[in-house]
């Protein structure tokens, strides 16, 4: 089996995607084809044996084979004609904008490229934190109180101190700030508004336990272990950045059976059918025995490989259960019948 890994693209999380892609080389047993999308949205075929972070930061990748996308897959020009880049399935490993907002999933669907990753609807819902909250409530999963504040709106904040401020459409803890009193508010909003024109505000609960669960569905659900990430006040960008290169399995959280069942039940409600074909990670809080969704990571760092016993087997299995598109009849019966009726 040959797996293509698509990474990079035009995003604040571009570098995270690069680190995640390199990490997969250590855990995937399948042959890997690396396809890099640079900041200018050009595609390049990166030699698997030469993929390093320096190749991208130095611009050396521009010497690699330039690719273009058309019906059926990715192609490179040859002296005479073109060459198709062969692989069995692609992993969408583009974090943030382009990869998680639905652009690339729509494009891959449009051009008929088989891929593991969130489809357009799942991307749109999970990329926007407000949509995620609304969706979770719709499927019966608890969420914390929240408020959306738009830049320049002048609206008053209804959430009591302390609270956390997050850019509405961004991940990896970029732009997030904790506001414990009024004098800290202006700075936190300035930072968050650098990345988005809207922010999500929700209560900050000091010491709350967070649990991460990854998984997917084929003929049945496949769950990872449940991890309790070690953090200070919250898991900031620097700590998360280190996570994206993780390849070693982490320790399982110590939870009672009821709490584990609550987390898995919430995951299943969120996953099916919106994220079929994707391996996602959901982050939850457990407060007074109740499970609350924190966020959905439709393209988790390094695909959350460190949470699974046999990540390669999960990917191979999932590749056989990708959503099928409806086959549209390629004909013009309606137009032809109108023409026949008009005698034209």
Give the pLDDT score at 182: 93
**Buried-state track 276-305, b at ≥16 Cβ within 10 A, e below 16:** bbbbbbbbbbbeeeebbbbbbbbbbbbbbb
Cβ–Cβ < 8 Å for 295, 267: no
Give the pLDDT score at 262: 97
Kindly tell me if the per-residue pLDDT of 171 is higher than 80: no
The band of 174, judged by pLDDT with boundaries at 50, 70 and 90, is confident
Q: State how far the Cα of 99 lies from the Cα of 127, in Å rounded to an integer.
A: 10
The band of 243, judged by pLDDT with boundaries at 50, 70 and 90, is low
Q: State how far the Cα of 243 lies from the Cα of 301, in Å rounded to an integer.
A: 7
Among 189-203, 223-237, 248-262, name the most confident range.
189-203
Give the pLDDT score at 41: 97
> Hey, CA dihedral for 227, 120, 272, 201, is it positive or negative?
positive
Kindly state the average pLDDT of the residues 77-102: 95
Kindly tell me if the per-residue pLDDT of 209 is higher than 70: yes
Cβ–Cβ < 8 Å for 216, 178: no
The band of 236, judged by pLDDT with boundaries at 50, 70 and 90, is low
**pLDDT tens-digit profile of 11-35?**
989 999 999 999 999 999 999 999 9
Cβ–Cβ < 8 Å for 290, 141: no
Give the pLDDT score at 221: 98
> Could you give the 3-state DSSP secondary structure of residue 293?
strand
Domain with CATH 3.30.1490.20 in the chain: 147-203
Domain with CATH 3.30.470.20 in the chain: 124-143+207-318
Cβ–Cβ < 8 Å for 233, 187: no
Give the pLDDT score at 1: 94
User: DSSP letter string over 120-135?
Assistant: HHHHHHHHSHHHHHHH
> CB-based contacts of 135: which residues, under 8 Å, 6+ apart?
125, 270, 274
82-84 and 73-77: which strand pairing? antiparallel
73-77 and 115-116: which strand pairing? unpaired
**pLDDT tens-digit profile of 141-152?**
999 999 999 999
Q: Which two tokens stand for residue 225?
A: 């272990």
CATH superfamily of 124-143+207-318: ATP-grasp fold, B domain (3.30.470.20)
Q: Which two tokens stand for residue 38?
A: 């640079």
- Which one of 3.30.365.10, 3.30.1490.20, 1.10.287.1080, 3.80.30.20 gives the CATH number of domain 147-203? 3.30.1490.20
Give the pLDDT score at 14: 95
Kindly state the average pLDDT of the residues 217-246: 73
Least confident interval from 58-62, 240-244, 267-271, 278-282: 240-244
Who wins on pLDDT, 238 or 100?
Answer: 100
Mean pLDDT (the chain) is 92
Domain with CATH 3.40.50.20 in the chain: 2-117
Nearest to 246 by CA among 6, 20, 33: 20
Give the pLDDT score at 337: 82
The band of 331, judged by pLDDT with boundaries at 50, 70 and 90, is confident
- Which one of 3.40.50.2300, 3.40.50.20, 2.60.40.10, 3.30.70.3270 gives the CATH number of domain 2-117? 3.40.50.20
User: DSSP letter string over 167-200?
Assistant: ETT--TTTT-EEE-SGGGHHHHHHHHHTT-SEEE
> Structure pTM?
0.90
The band of 330, judged by pLDDT with boundaries at 50, 70 and 90, is confident
Q: Please work out, in degrees rounded to the nearest 5, the angle formed at the alpha carbon of residue 216 by the alpha carbons of 70 and 102.
A: 40
């Amino acid at each position: 089996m040959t797996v293509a890994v698509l990474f990079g693209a035009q995003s604040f999380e571009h570098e995270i995607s690069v680190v995640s892609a390199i990490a997969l080389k250590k855990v995937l047993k399948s042959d890997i084809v690396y396809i890099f999308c640079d900041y200018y949205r050009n595609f390049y075929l990166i030699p698997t044996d030469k993929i390093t972070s320096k190749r991208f930061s130095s611009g050396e990748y521009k010497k690699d084979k330039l690719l273009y996308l058309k019906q059926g897959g990715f192609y490179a020009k040859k002296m005479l004609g073109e060459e198709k880049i062969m692989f069995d399935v692609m992993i969408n490993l583009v974090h943030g904008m382009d990869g998680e907002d639905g652009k690339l999933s729509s494009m891959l669907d449009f051009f008929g490229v088989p891929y593991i990753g969130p489809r357009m609807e799942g991307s749109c819902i999970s990329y926007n934190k407000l949509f995620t909250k609304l969706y979770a409530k719709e499927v019966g999963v608890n969420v914390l109180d929240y408020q959306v504040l738009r830049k320049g709106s002048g609206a008053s904040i209804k959430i009591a101190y302390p609270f956390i401020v997050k850019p509405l459409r961004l991940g990896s803890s970029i732009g997030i700030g904790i506001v414990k009193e009024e004098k800290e508010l202006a700075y936190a909003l300035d930072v968050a508004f650098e990345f988005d024109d809207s922010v999500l505000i929700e209560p900050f609960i000091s010491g709350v336990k967070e649990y991460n669960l990854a998984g997917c569905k084929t003929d049945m659900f496949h769950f990872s272990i449940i991890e309790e990430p070690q953090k200070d006040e919250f898991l900031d960008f620097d700590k998360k950045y280190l996570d994206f290169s993780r390849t070693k399995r982490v320790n399982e959280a110590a939870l009672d059976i009821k709490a584990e069942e609550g987390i898995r039940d919430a995951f299943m409600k969120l996953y099916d059918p919106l994220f079929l074909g994707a391996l996602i990670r959901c982050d939850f809080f457990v407060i007074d025995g109740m499970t609350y969704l924190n966020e959905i990571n439709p393209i988790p760092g390094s695909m959350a490989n460190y949470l699974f016993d046999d990540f390669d087997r999960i990917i191979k299995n999932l590749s056989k259960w990708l959503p099928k598109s409806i086959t549209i009849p390629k004909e013009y019966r309606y137009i032809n019948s109108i023409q026949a009726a008009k005698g034209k």
